């Protein structure tokens, strides 16, 4: 499966999850919602570990820098960003909040170009401009 196909599938799953999260936040505090979501992640990780023990072994042999970077990314995405996203989702329309909150690839693009040496192409610039335009239009 190509990277594009995998990204499309992840977008579909993220979209469905945003629907359930908005539904769950109708009567819930956003911070409590983050805890509930994290519990869901923990349960999913346990099931995944039981179903794929080789992945657990690969986790333990992963180099320390990689493990640390992924843990920091997890804290930022699954706790910090999620808390802001849930607060926005609680008071805003899911169609607007999901698009604006989903504009994170702009930041990822800038950081990866600056620090990882990833190429800046015309196609990427146009894509980023469209993402920013969409977020601005929904403001």
- What is the rounded radius of gyration, in angstroms, for the C-alpha atoms of the chain? 17
Beta strands in the chain (DSSP E): none
pLDDT digits over 101-117, tens only?
A: 989 999 999 999 999 99
Residue in this structure with the two tokens 């699954």, named with its chain if needed: 78
| Share of residues in the chain with pLDDT > 70 (%) | 100
17 vs 5: CA distance, rounded Å: 18
Q: Residue 68: CB partners within 8 Å, gap ≥ 6? A: none
Question: Quick one: pLDDT band at residue 139, thresholds 50, 70, 90?
Answer: confident
pLDDT digits over 78-105, tens only?
A: 999 999 999 999 999 999 999 999 899 9
Mean pLDDT of 43-66: 96
Q: What is the pTM of this model?
A: 0.83
């Amino acid at each position: 499966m190509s990277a594009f196909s995998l990204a499309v599938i992840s977008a579909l799953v993220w979209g469905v999850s945003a629907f359930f999260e908005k539904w769950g936040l109708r009567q819930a505090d956003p911070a409590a919602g983050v805890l509930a979501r994290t519990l869901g992640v923990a349960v999913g990780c346990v099931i995944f570990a039981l179903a794929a023990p080789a992945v657990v072994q690969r986790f333990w042999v992963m180099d320390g820098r990689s493990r640390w970077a992924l843990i920091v990314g997890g804290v930022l995405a699954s706790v910090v960003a999620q808390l802001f996203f849930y607060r926005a989702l609680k008071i805003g329309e899911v169609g607007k909040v999901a698009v604006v909150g989903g504009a994170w690839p702009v930041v990822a693009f800038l950081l990866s170009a600056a620090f990882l040496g990833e190429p800046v192409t015309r196609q990427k610039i146009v894509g980023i401009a469209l993402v920013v335009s969409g977020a601005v239009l929904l403001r």
